[in-house]
């Protein structure tokens, strides 16, 4: 009746060759609010400087260079603090003709005003031909900035407007902005258009050395990761995710850490690989693959995959990696490693052999979704066969619910194919009814259902009411079908961990894992956290979970112990057990 440790570990997919150094995107902050009020700084110059100091390049908004501006003096002090820390500060000036239509004297006055305010450079907005700007107008102002030892950032929708033709005044200290990068105001943009433009920018960067900065306005984590990884795989220099007013409406400026700062040293190719069938794009380093996918309209995401032989700094040592994974009862390896062309295929096969010899269960990842990879039957069977050839005990079917366009027929076809290969399955679908309700349920007692985001997701508490409804369903299905249940949580604190672990134990579910939100894909880190207890009784006193709405708690008792969790589903929680009587 005790919980066994589970591990989902994401991996790498393909392998090529080249020696372009990897650049991790630095932090851009385009901010159009009052600088001294950023993130509730309330006019405190030090607090504002510290907030902006998290970024590498900071752009302040229009007109603050004027000595009559209400925040000019404090912004000047903030700029001084930032530049003393090695940060780059740019000031906004509009270059457009059909917008502000500033004359040369007015633009030069703005440049010298920003210089006096302490800026390192000028952010030229509306700088493309679509705003009536000519190459001469661009070059005149770029050269004026350079004359004053200031760099520029050019914001023009079409990079040809800035780079194509003659009289290009930009140099390697200047920057071009790719605005609305992949996502604009929470809306996905065309991946076809994105790649055309990004390819152009990569070409111009290679020819001129000009830096590239990407600016996106996502509403969801999937949108953020798609835009960030789309920046990283092109080796562009800066990235920002912000809201559509660029802080002008609320003085808010989110700082979102990069998903990773370590995904290799060299790119294997200068090209971005594409797969039109599954709407995905990828690029590989010597140890990782960065990948984005989406339809440019309703969905998008990004992932990158590490190598099993590198887990927890094992540095390719098969024995060391096997020993680390061997602490877990059930291990899931990530997408594509079954391919013999995969750079870690041989070592992973050896690791799997070691684990299976020790009685561990090893599963391989395959995506079942229609709205995601949309693999056909032949492709999915090929993946199953590949994992089988590596010795895997089963297949982890991700995106397996109806919300990903999957049908019961698609589920059953692949479950039955796995069973015909003497392989078991783990099904990851948010709604257990999608897997268990109705007819033609092909699962058996050797198969498993995954309860993902169990009680806690990425350090955020989830509704206990929703948790109990779902967990009760799973307990019912487990009783009827004898399918195993495994729980996966992503806590940030010990209280969150204990709530999720005790919430698993009291339902008598089979496996549990606490990990971080990328499932080890961002860092090859895989924590092993021992169970809080492996001895809390032999028999449950009741098949029911007791609840107390007054103190927001749930419990279940053995003869000798009471297991209990409590929380408000928003800001606090814990899990514990106490002696019964």
* Whether residue 270 has pLDDT greater than 60: yes
Task: Give the ranges where 312-407 is alpha helix by DSSP (H).
Answer: 318-325, 345-357, 377-390
Structure tokens at 181: 């990068």
| Amino acid 154: pLDDT | 99
Q: For residue 9, name the pLDDT band (cuts at 50, 70, 90).
A: very low
Structure tokens at 479: 């009783």
| Amino acid 373: pLDDT | 81
Tens-place pLDDT, residues 532-556 = 888 888 899 999 999 888 878 999 9
* pTM, entire model: 0.60
Task: Give the ranges where 31-129 is alpha helix by DSSP (H).
Answer: 45-52, 72-84, 104-117
Q: For residue 10, name the pLDDT band (cuts at 50, 70, 90).
A: very low
Residues near 81 by beta carbon (within 8 Å), at least 6 away in sequence: 45, 46, 49, 53
Q: For residue 328, name the pLDDT band (cuts at 50, 70, 90).
A: confident
**Residue recorded with tokens 């589920």:** 411
| Amino acid 521: pLDDT | 56
| Amino acid 513: pLDDT | 85
* Whether residue 15 has pLDDT greater than 50: no
Q: Long-range contacts made by residues 250-254, C-beta under 8 angstroms, separation at least 24?
A: 250/33, 251/33, 251/34, 251/37, 251/38, 251/39, 251/40, 252/33, 252/38, 252/39, 253/29, 253/31, 253/33, 253/38, 253/39, 253/51, 253/52
| Amino acid 17: pLDDT | 33
| Amino acid 110: pLDDT | 99
Show me where the domains of the chain are located: 4-14+291-526, 25-259
* Whether residue 523 has pLDDT greater than 80: no
What would the mean pLDDT of 157-180 be, rounded to a whole number?
97
| Amino acid 12: pLDDT | 31
Task: Give the ranges where 429-546 is alpha helix by DSSP (H).
Answer: 433-436, 464-481, 494-505
N-to-C CA span, the chain: 21
Tens-place pLDDT, residues 302-324 = 655 568 888 887 888 999 999 98
- Taking residue 463's Cβ as centre, other Cβ atoms within 10 Å add up to 14
CA distance 74 to 381: 64
Tens-place pLDDT, residues 112-158 = 999 999 999 999 999 999 999 999 999 999 999 999 999 999 999 99
| Amino acid 16: pLDDT | 32
CA distance 151 to 74: 23
CA distance 432 to 294: 25
Q: How high is the mean pLDDT of the chain?
A: 90
What would the mean pLDDT of 209-232 be, rounded to a whole number?
94
Tens-place pLDDT, residues 194-212 = 999 999 999 999 999 999 9
Q: For residue 502, name the pLDDT band (cuts at 50, 70, 90).
A: very high
Q: For residue 530, name the pLDDT band (cuts at 50, 70, 90).
A: confident
Crossing angle of helices 72-84 and 45-52, rounded to 10°? 50
Half-sphere exposure (Cβ direction) of 348: Cα atoms closer than 13 Å = 34
SS3 228: helix
Tens-place pLDDT, residues 17-38 = 337 999 999 999 999 999 999 9
CA distance 301 to 484: 29
Structure tokens at 148: 């004053």
> Is the Cα dihedral 176, 283, 219, 297 positive or negative?
positive
Q: For residue 524, name the pLDDT band (cuts at 50, 70, 90).
A: low
Does domain 25-259 bear CATH number 3.20.20.70?
yes
| Amino acid 285: pLDDT | 82
| Amino acid 549: pLDDT | 82
Tens-place pLDDT, residues 239-266 = 999 999 999 999 999 999 988 887 888 8
Contact criterion met (CB below 8 Å) for 255 and 55: yes
Instruction: Let me know if 41 is exposed, middle or buried by CB neighbors in 10 A (0-12, 13-18, 19+).
Output: buried
**Residue recorded with tokens 């990761």:** 225
What would the mean pLDDT of 85-103 be, rounded to a whole number?
98
Task: Give the ranges where 358-493 is alpha helix by DSSP (H).
Answer: 377-390, 408-420, 433-436, 464-481
What would the mean pLDDT of 274-297 be, rounded to a whole number?
81
Among 528, 536, 541, 515, smallest CA distance to 8 is for 515
Does domain 4-14+291-526 bear CATH number 3.20.20.70?
yes
SS3 121: strand
Calculated CA dihedral for residues 76, 82, 87, 93, nearest 10 degrees: -20
What single DSSP character describes residue 297?
A: S
| Amino acid 11: pLDDT | 34
**Strand 26-31, strand 394-398: pairing:** unpaired
What would the mean pLDDT of 463-472 be, rounded to a whole number?
93
Half-sphere exposure (Cβ direction) of 269: Cα atoms closer than 13 Å = 12
Tens-place pLDDT, residues 353-365 = 999 999 999 999 9
């Amino acid at each position: 009746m005790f919980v066994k440790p589970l591990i989902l570990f994401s991996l790498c997919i393909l392998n090529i060759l080249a020696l372009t150094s990897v650049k991790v995107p630095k932090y851009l902050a385009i901010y159009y609010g009052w600088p001294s009020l950023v993130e509730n700084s309330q006019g405190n110059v030090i607090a504002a400087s510290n907030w902006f100091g998290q970024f590498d390049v900071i752009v302040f908004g229009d007109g603050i260079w004027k000595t009559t501006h209400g925040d000019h003096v404090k912004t000047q002090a903030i700029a001084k603090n930032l530049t003393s820390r090695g940060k780059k500060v740019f000031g906004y000036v509009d270059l457009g003709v059909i917008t502000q239509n500033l004359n040369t004297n007015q633009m030069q006055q703005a440049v010298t005003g920003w210089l006096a305010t302490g800026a390192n450079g000028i952010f030229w907005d509306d700088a493309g031909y679509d705003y009536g700007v000519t190459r001469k107008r661009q070059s005149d102002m770029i050269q004026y900035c350079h004359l004053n030892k200031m760099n520029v950032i050019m914001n023009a929708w079409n990079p040809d407007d800035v780079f194509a033709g003659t009289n290009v005044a930009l140099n390697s200290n200047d920057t071009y902005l790719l605005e609305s990068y992949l996502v604009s105001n929470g809306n996905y943009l065309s991946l076809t258009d994105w790649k055309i433009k990004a390819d152009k920018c990569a070409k111009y960067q290679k020819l001129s050395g000009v830096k590239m900065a990407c600016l996106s306005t996502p509403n969801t984590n999937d949108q953020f990761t798609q835009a960030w990884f789309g920046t990283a795989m092109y080796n562009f220099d800066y990235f920002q995710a912000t809201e559509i007013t660029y802080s002008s409406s609320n003085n808010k400026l989110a700082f979102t850490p990069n998903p990773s700062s370590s995904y290799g040293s060299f790119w294997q190719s200068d090209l971005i690989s594409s797969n039109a069938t599954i709407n995905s794009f990828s690029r590989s380093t010597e140890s990782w693959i960065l990948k984005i996918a989406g339809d440019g309209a309703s969905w998008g995401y990004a992932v990158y995959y590490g190598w099993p032989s590198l887990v927890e700094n094992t540095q390719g040592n098969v024995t060391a990696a096997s020993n680390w994974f061997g602490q877990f009862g059930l291990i899931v390896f990530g997408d594509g490693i079954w391919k013999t062309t995969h750079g870690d295929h041989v070592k992973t096969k050896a690791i799997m052999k070691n684990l299976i010899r020790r009685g561990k269960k090893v599963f391989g990842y395959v995506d079942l979704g229609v709205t995601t990879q949309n693999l056909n039957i032949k492709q999915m069977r090929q993946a199953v066969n590949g994992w089988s050839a590596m010795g895997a005990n089963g297949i982890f079917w991700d995106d397996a619910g109806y919300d990903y366009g999957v049908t019961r027929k698609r589920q059953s076809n692949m479950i039955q194919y796995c069973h015909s290969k003497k392989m078991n399955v783990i099904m990851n679908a948010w709604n257990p009814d999608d897997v268990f309700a109705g007819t033609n349920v092909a699962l058996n007692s050797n198969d498993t259902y995954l309860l993902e985001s169990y009680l806690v997701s990425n350090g955020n508490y989830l509704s206990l009411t929703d948790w109990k409804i779902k967990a009760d369903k799973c307990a019912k299905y487990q009783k009827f079908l004898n399918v195993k249940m495994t729980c996966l949580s992503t806590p940030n604190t010990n209280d969150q961990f204990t709530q999720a672990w005790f919430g698993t134990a009291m339902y008598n579910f089979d496996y549990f894992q606490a990990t971080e939100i990328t499932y080890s894909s961002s860092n090859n880190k895989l924590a092993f956290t021992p169970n809080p207890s492996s001895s809390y009784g032999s028999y449950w006193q009741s098949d029911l979970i007791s609840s107390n709405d007054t103190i927001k708690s749930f419990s279940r008792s053995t003869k000798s112990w009471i297991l209990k969790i409590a929380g408000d589903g928003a800001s606090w929680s814990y899990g514990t057990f106490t002696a019964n009587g």
